[in-house]
Amino acid sequence: MASTPDPTATLRAPDAAVDSIEGRIRTAELFAEALKQDQFSLFGQPIAPIAAAKSGHRYLEIFVRFREEEEHLLPPGTFFPILEANHLTAELDRWVVRKVLGWASEKRDTKANWQIPCFNINLADDTINDKDFARHVLDALYESRIPPDRLWFELTVKQLARFRDAARQTVSGLQALGCALAVSDFSGTEADARDCWNAGVRVAKLAGSLVRDVHRNPRALSSLLSINDACHKVGLQTIAQFVEARETLPMLRKAGVDFAQGFCIAVPVPLSVLN
């Protein structure tokens, strides 16, 4: 009987682990086993409506941390390039979907009148090219009995352009289930916004470069106003990312941005402690 790989061994010496074909295979085995053993943790960061009068679902962006990172105080995401190099990111995204929906299902079953949030899940390159991903999401939704509109998936502008055909196919499959799609790092024109809409995207996360200096740079505010208006003209809702200063919020409200996300709003916290 083969021994169980130690999933923490990879991050202790990642460079040595990927230097050879044998090392890469071993690395893939270690992280595949880490996924089976739930050696990853989920964090949620709230996304808040900017207009106080707005109501509706709560929104959480989901982040993943490898538990070894937390124990050894490593920067978040250290593991991700290793998973990417070994083509395990699609498997990680599937794990995230199962775990998020499982968590929501448990909360709903044990807490009366609990309102299920909308979960924003980022998609890796390999997931966008995974023709079976939508089917996996369907199975996870069926098992958890969570409404599909509580899941929305996020691609970057670069991914949408780089994997145009695969992205449209993935978006189409997820839309058919009733899930929503968002694009991040958006800073384009009305024509770019319309392309996103035609590709099935319904939410645009505005690039951090548009947001960080908006409270002290009139040109940044002018750009934000123009781009936010372009998104709204084609029907896209907008989210300001990287909101780190309270002075930013009045500017976002003035620009008509729909939602805000960042350390000024809330920091990511373990999903297990969220109510």
pLDDT grade for 113, boundaries at 50, 70 and 90: confident
How many angstroms separate the CA atoms of 189 and 99, rounded?
37
From residue 6, how far is each of 10, 14, 17, 45, 230 by CA, in Å? 8, 13, 13, 30, 50
At residue 74, the pLDDT reads: 56
H helices present in 86-203, as ranges: 89-110, 125-128, 133-144, 157-162, 164-177, 190-198
- Is 24 part of a structural domain of the chain? no
How many angstroms separate the CA atoms of 47 and 21, rounded?
42
How many angstroms separate the CA atoms of 193 and 126, rounded?
24
At residue 272, the pLDDT reads: 83
- Is 242 part of a structural domain of the chain? yes
State how many domains the chain has: 1
Q: Higher pLDDT residue, 88 or 100?
A: 100
Range of the domain at 239: 41-273
**Helix (H), strand (E) at residue 238:** strand 237-240
State the amino acid at position 209 in one-letter form: S
Q: Is the pLDDT of residue 48 over 50?
A: yes
pLDDT grade for 138, boundaries at 50, 70 and 90: very high
At residue 9, the pLDDT reads: 38
Instruction: Give the pLDDT confidence of 149-161 residue by residue, as tens digits.
Output: 999 999 999 999 9
- Is 31 part of a structural domain of the chain? no
Which range among 42-51, 78-87, 186-195, 263-272 shows the weakest confidence by mean pLDDT? Answer: 78-87
CATH number at residue 73: 3.20.20.450
- Is 83 part of a structural domain of the chain? yes
Contacts of 156 (CB under 8 A, 6+ apart): 183, 184, 185
At residue 212, the pLDDT reads: 86
How many angstroms separate the CA atoms of 65 and 17, rounded?
20
